[in-house]
């Protein structure tokens, strides 16, 4: 749960930083063409970062799922063994 909250806070921080950067660019003393080129370049870089982060999050989620599944399987096995011992 704490990891989810941290990810949410990080996401809002990144979104705020991007929005603040975009506003700053719009008021920058560059020409419109230069500003648009810069925004396009940074947008592409941002997409790459988001794609990589998404892959990392998916991989981490898969690891957690697999670990949880293994724990559940082990618990079911222990339960079954205990049930057999009680029945004799």
CA distance readout (Å), 48 to 3, 23, 53, 76: 22, 21, 9, 42
* Domain extent for 13: 2-87
Question: Per residue in 11-43, pLDDT tens?
Answer: 888 888 888 887 877 777 777 788 788 888 988
What is the pTM for the complete model shown?
A: 0.48
**Number of structural domains, the chain?**
1
Q: Give the total residue count for the chain.
A: 88
Question: Per residue in 38-63, pLDDT tens?
Answer: 888 988 888 888 888 889 999 999 99
């Amino acid at each position: 749960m704490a990891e989810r909250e941290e990810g949410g806070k990080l996401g809002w921080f990144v979104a705020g930083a991007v929005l603040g950067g975009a506003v700053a660019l719009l008021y920058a003393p560059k020409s419109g063409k230069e500003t648009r080129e810069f925004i396009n370049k940074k947008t592409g870089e941002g997409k790459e970062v988001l794609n990589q982060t998404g892959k990392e999050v998916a991989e981490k989620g898969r690891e957690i799922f697999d670990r949880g599944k293994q724990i559940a399987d082990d618990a079911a096995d222990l339960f079954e063994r205990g049930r057999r011992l009680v029945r004799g």
